[in-house]
Chain A
Amino acid sequence: MLAVIVSGLAIGAVYAATALAYNVMYSTSKVLSVTTGHLCMLGGVFGAWFIAGLGLPAGLGLLGAVLVGAAFGGITEVVGVRRVLARSDEHLWLLSTLALATMLQQAVGLWWGTEPKPFPRLIPQDFSAGLLDQKYWLPILTVLAMTAGLEAFYRLTLWGKLFQATSEDAFAARARGIPTDRVRSASYLLAGALGGLAGFAAGQLTFAFFALGLTLTLNGFIALAVGGLGSNLGALVGGAGLGLLSAFATYWFGGEYQQTIAVGLLMLVLLVRPEGLLGARRVRPV
């Protein structure tokens, strides 16, 4: 039973990290990017390549994975979001980020291969550690640190305050002289770096797998919608809840109904509380 809880929380941490990345990008642009899960996928694949493939030390591998994630976050903003937001059509960003996600996934599949590959050991530890294995606690600690870091960033730094002002009312922020375009670019770089970091930390759990991106885009979004769009605490709660639910569903019914049950949870929550558990009730604009 404890094993189910630990593995559920670990995979839930990956969902929560994806949900955090969604939030960072959503706050400044009001865009939900289909590429969000792919940021984590990049962290895992490039982390494995840097360390196992190129033989770099783990620290450099981490740095590389974070940089690759940030770079793709930046590409998402420049190619998929910036030009599209200039037009007023609300659906175009969905199409452009979907196109980017598709291209990236297929490119990684062609280059890296379509089989999941193992992620190297980061910290010397015996494989018999069981539930204390780093593949479980690394992602959990990472996502907790990410949440705390984000809160500190938003509250304590000037850039964080610019993020918040843009998030609350981009129009008013622009009127007050805040360079909202640069804030938005920065938020996508940040989300990419966070995704890369999370994917790297969870690599031993998820393996370096090209198709992980789409799964995380969906399950990270479910965690986000359940927890409440825009709330980082909600992302943690939603991720943990979804991870535990999947783990227990696997434990009781076998792995066959994981996605069905995850979506069932989402529909249930949306039916009862459309704004999510911890989300802010939105005023409908007419």
Chain B
Amino acid sequence: MAARAPRLGLALLVALALASLPYWSGDLYRLHLVSLIGAYWVLVAGLNLVVGFTGQLSIGHVGLLAVGAYGFAILAGTLGLPPLLALPLCGVLGGAAGLLLGLPSLRLPGFYFAMATMAFALIVTELSLAWGGLTGGGTGLSVPGFPAPFDTPSGQYWLILAVAAAVTALTWNVARLMWGRALVAVRDSEVAAASVGVNVFRVKLTVFVFSGVTAGLGGALFAALQTYITPDTFVFDIGLFFFVCIIIGGRGTILGPLIGTAALTALPELVAPLARLGTFFYGLALLVVVLLVPEGIGRLVAVLVARVSGEPHRSHEVRPDLARLRQALAPPDGTAADAAPAAPAPLAAQALR
């Protein structure tokens, strides 16, 4: 409990800093950059449940981003729907596309699945070129912005921040509650997952559809931020970028991929030589992480923290508490539930780290 107060304070401080960013960021370019990170994060947060928690290696989520972006441009632009209505519709659209992609591919083994997602990204590009009447073909589409009060750079930023915060909260709940354990079970041992009755395919599909929804939302926000989209906006490299953000940030954490997304988006913008290397830099970062810290940098930090402050490892004889066991095994009669001890929440702590 003692550790909770400073952590809560830190979280409040970060929230305050993020909310007031437009007042101290200095220039509009930096604000745009943070808005872009936010739009990416809306997608990456959902993808993180697929890749980091459930272990399904989707490298083609840029296809779902494109579905959301084109959906927004068409719904709010061509059809003239209110942008604030088009935004959730893009989530629905992304979810439907996720279902379409996940249904045939999530039963396949790992490499097959990765290739299917990559093919999906290429197919979306192909279709966006082929259906010129809808998408503007190679010329692309201009994207309307959001109405007041979200029509200024600051307003747009706050809208993105709100959606990103909401999506983060949703994934945090999933990660820390029973579903989070089921996801990790599917990732680490499908045999163990099935042995406790987890329907592996259904769990994978549910999470994948959710990631489609967040990708659709992220795509809509991204498109509004870009103001103009073409098929070239959604090159395969971006899908790779999302994937690398998560692997570098670490499996099974939320904060790690968040930092990964922010760092990998901002670094090439702030350090000019990295921008020239572009995708090479992402590949190199991925290789270094896979070879040296395969669990990701987030995990490395967690391990170091645990080593500094952690409990010393003691050998301890296993001595069953038979009275408590018998009580726990007794058919529920109302008394057992009252004996609940206040246990800590290790998974939640891990998810935040």
Tell me if A107 is interfacial: C-beta within 8 Å of chain B: yes
B118–A258 contact, CB under 8 A? Answer: no
Chain B, range 221-276, C-beta contacts under 8 Å to A: 236, 240, 247, 276
Given contacts A99-B284, A106-B278, contact A87 B294 (CB under 8 A): yes
* Shortest distance between the CB of B176 and any CB in chain A (Å): 24
A95–B115 contact, CB under 8 A? Answer: no
Hey, what's the 0/1 contact readout for A192-214 against B, CB within 8 Å counting as 1? 00000000000000000000001
B119–A218 contact, CB under 8 A? Answer: yes
Given contacts A102-B240, A103-B283, A256-B130, contact A90 B115 (CB under 8 A): no
Tell me if A1 is interfacial: C-beta within 8 Å of chain B: no
Interface 9-residue window, one of B105-113, B160-168, B201-209: B105-113
Nearest A residue to B288 by beta-carbon distance?
A: A99
* Shortest distance between the CB of A110 and any CB in chain B (Å): 7
Tell me if B286 is interfacial: C-beta within 8 Å of chain A: yes
Tell me if A263 is interfacial: C-beta within 8 Å of chain B: yes
Hey, what's the 0/1 contact readout for B115-140 against A, CB within 8 Å counting as 1? 11011101100110110000000000
Q: Chain B contact residues: over half helix, strand or loop, or mixed?
A: helix
Nearest A residue to B127 by beta-carbon distance?
A: A260
Tell me if A71 is interfacial: C-beta within 8 Å of chain B: no
Residues of A within 8 A of B111 (CB): 32, 94, 221
Docked Cα-Cα span, A91 to B116, in Å, equals 16
Interface size grouping (class) on chain B: 35 or more
Tell me if B282 is interfacial: C-beta within 8 Å of chain A: yes
Candidates B123, B284, B291; contact of A259 at CB < 8 Å? B123
Residues of A within 8 A of B8 (CB): none
B280–A102 contact, CB under 8 A? Answer: yes
B286–A256 contact, CB under 8 A? Answer: no
Tell me if A286 is interfacial: C-beta within 8 Å of chain B: yes
CB-based closest 10 A-B pairs: A102-B283, A256-B130, A99-B287, A103-B283, A106-B280, A99-B286, A263-B119, A106-B279, A32-B111, A95-B290
User: Can you pick out 15 interface pairs between chain A and chain B where the beta carbons lie within 8 Å of each other?
Assistant: A90-B110, A92-B294, A94-B57, A95-B290, A96-B291, A98-B283, A98-B286, A100-B287, A218-B119, A221-B115, A222-B115, A256-B127, A257-B130, A263-B123, A266-B119
Residues of B participating in the A interface, judged by any CB pair closer than 8 Å: 55, 57, 59, 104, 108, 110-112, 114-116, 118-120, 122-123, 126-127, 129-130, 191, 236, 240, 247, 276-280, 282-284, 286-287, 290-291, 294
Residues of A participating in the B interface, judged by any CB pair closer than 8 Å: 32, 79-80, 83-84, 87, 89-92, 94-96, 98-103, 105-107, 110, 214, 218, 221-222, 225, 256-260, 262-263, 266-267, 270-271, 286
